[in-house]
Amino acid sequence: MVKFVHMADIHLGNKQYGSEERQMDFAQAFLDAIKFAVEEKVDFILIAGDLFHKKTEMDPVTLLQARKVLEIPKEEGIPVIGVEGNHDSTYFRDSYSWMDYLAVNGLMINLKPSFEDGKLKLEEWNGKSGAYYEFNGIRIYGMKYYGSISERIIEEYFAKMRSSKNTIFMAHIGVEGYVRNMYGCIPSAKIHKLGRKVDYIALGHVHKAFVEKNLVFNPGSLEACDITEIAYERGIFVVDMENDGPKATLKKDFYEPRDFVILKYRVKKGIEGLKGFLSSERKKIKLKNKPVIDLTLDVERSLRNSLEEDKIKELISEYFDPLLIRLHWDVRDHFRPTMLDLSTKESIERSVVEQLLDNYKYGKIAPEVLKLKKLFSTSFDLEMVDRLIDDLLFEREDAKSPQKDSVLAEELKDSVDSVDGIEKLDLGKEMEKSESDIEEEEVWDWRRACDKGGRPRKRKKL
C-alpha cells in the first residue's frame, strides 16, 4: 500500500497587501504541510501547481523558503512531485521555470510533457525532465497548466496514458462550477473521462476543496489569496492507495490560517458610532491570531471629510490588535446620478479603461480588455471580470520580458510551433539553413539543464 499527501496552490512569495508577514504566512503553511506529510511517513508528496505566486520576479526570501522546506522531505528520501500552475509558468511558451530550477537542484520532480513534431510525448522522469514518475508500481502522470488548450492536451494524455491500476494523473486545472471565475476551468465530464485509465486525479487551481466520485480531488489553497476565498474549505489530502481505490481525507488542522475579519459599517454620525460597532463586532468573533481587518465605510459625502483614516485605524487597533487594516470608502452622494444612456455609458467606460491601461503602458490591449468586459458583463460579475483582466495583464507583462532575442528564438519557435492550434508567435527572421549546415554538438549550455530528454542541441556550423 502506498500513502501520499496531495497539496496545491501554495503561492509562496505572495506578499499579500504588501505585507511581509503575509508572505511568511504562506511559507509557514507550506512548511507545516510538508512537516505533516513527513510525520505521516508518506511515500511521496504531490504539489498540483502554483507552488510560487509569481513566475518571474523571484526574491531571495521566497527562494530560500522553497529550498529550506523542500530540503526536509529530501533528507527523508521522500520525493516531492509537482506540476507548474498558471502562477509558475506561461503556458504558451516553454521557458525555464523556478520549479525547473528546484528540479535541477534535486529538490523536486517537475513533470510536464514534451512535444515532437506537434505530437505530445509522455516520457518517464529521467532526473531532469519527463511527464511521469514511477514509485513502487504507482505511476504519476503530470500535466502543467495549459490554459485554454487544456481540454485538448488532456485528450492527448488520455490517448497516451497506460491503462492499469495504480495510476495517478496530476494537473493544474479547474473544474467548472466551484468558483465564479471559470478561467482555467473545464467541464467536469472531460476530467471524469480519465477515470477509465486512472484511480486518482490530483488537481490544483481552484482555491476551494472538492472531491468528485472518489476520483477527482482538489485540496484548495493553503492560505486565502483573496478576500473572496476566506470562507472556502481548504486543506491537504492524505491518501492511502488501496486495491479498491483511494482512501482520501482532507486535513485542515496541520496549520492555523490567518484570520480575516470583513466588516461593513454605515457611518451615521461620526466616529462615536463606529466605536460601538467595533466593540460589538469584536465580542462576536473568536480570533486565533492577529487578523487582517477589512472594513468598508459606507458614508455620505458630507460626512466623509470629518472622518480621519488614522483615527479609524487607531480605533480598530484598539479592539482587534490586527496584523493589517484595509479601509474602503463607499462614498454616497445625496443626489441620484442622472441615468446615462447605453452608448454614453460605453464611451465613458472605454475612456476609463483606456486611461487606466495607458497608465501601465498597456494602452494597446484596451480593445481586448473591453471585449472581455463586455463578454462577461452578460453573466455579470464584476469581480470575475477584473480578475480576468488581471490575468491578461500578467501574461502580457511576461511576454514583454526582453527574452525574444535570437538565442532563444529557435528554442521558442520549437516549443510554440510544436503545439499546433496555439496562436503562433511571429519570431521574425527565420534562419535559412540546410540539414548539412547543422550538426549535433556537445556544448555546455545552461538551457540543457531543462532540455527535454537531455537531447544535444543542434548548432549551426561556423
Question: Where does this chain touch Mn ion (CB under 5 A) — which range of 49-57, 61-69, 274-282, 412-420?
Answer: 49-57
Dist CA 268 CA 73 (whole Å) = 56
Supply 261's cell numbers.
475579519
Give the range of 21-29, 48-56, 70-78, 307-315 binding Mn ion by CB under 5 A.
48-56
Residue 149 CA to residue 48 CA, distance in Å, equals 18
**3-state SS string for 153-177:** HHHHHHHHCCCCCCEEEEEECEECC
Strand partners, 103: none
CA nearest neighbour of 368 among 396, 407, 330, 406: 396
25 counts as binding Mn ion under rule CB under 5 A: no
Note whether 50 binds Mn ion by CB under 5 A.
yes
- Number of Cα atoms under 13 Å in the Cβ half of residue 154: 30
Q: Please list every residue from 316 through 375 that binds Mn ion, using CB under 5 A.
A: none
Q: Using CB under 5 A, which of the segments 1-9, 22-30, 93-101, 325-333 binds Mn ion?
A: 1-9
- In terms of phi and psi (left: phi > 0; alpha: psi -120 to 50; beta: otherwise), the region of 4 is beta
Name which of 158 and 232 has its Cβ closer to Mn ion.
232
CB of 53: closest distance to Mn ion in angstroms?
8
Q: In the complex with Mn ion, which residue's Cβ is closer, 48 or 216?
A: 48
Q: Report the residue number, 33 or 295, with the smaller CB distance to Mn ion.
A: 33
- With CA atoms as reference, report the closest residue to 89 among 106, 70, 102: 102
Indicate whether 88 belongs to the interface with Mn ion (CB under 5 A). Answer: no
Q: How far is the CB of 90 from Mn ion (least distance, A)?
A: 15
Strands 324-332 and 200-204: unpaired
9/94 with CB nearer Mn ion: 9
Radius of gyration (C-alpha) of the chain in whole angstroms: 25
Strand, coil or helix: 201: strand
Site for Mn ion, residues 282 to 301, rule: CB under 5 A: none
Q: Which of 77, 67, 69 is nearest to 36 (CA)?
A: 69
Q: Does 100 bind Mn ion (CB under 5 A)?
A: no
Q: Which is nearer to Mn ion, 252 or 387 (CB)?
A: 387
Closest CB 383 distance from Mn ion, rounded Å: 16
9 is an interface residue for Mn ion by CB under 5 A: yes
Q: Is residue 84 part of the contact set for Mn ion (CB under 5 A)? A: no
Region from 8-16, 194-202, 227-235, 437-445 binding Mn ion, contact rule CB under 5 A: 8-16
Contact segment (CB under 5 A) with Mn ion among 44-52, 142-150, 276-284, 333-341 equals: 44-52
- With 0-12 / 13-18 / 19 or more C-beta atoms within 10 angstroms meaning exposed / middle / buried, residue 113 is buried
Minimum CB distance to Mn ion, residue 228 (Å): 13
Residue 105 three-state SS: coil
**Which position's Cβ is nearest Mn ion?**
50
Considering the complex, state which of residue 9 and residue 100 has its C-beta at the smaller distance from Mn ion: 9
The stretch near Mn ion (CB under 5 A) out of 3-11, 113-121, 159-167, 289-297 is: 3-11
Closest separation in Å from C-beta 206 to Mn ion: 8
d(CA 227, CA 204): 19
Binding residues vs Mn ion (CB under 5 A): 9, 50
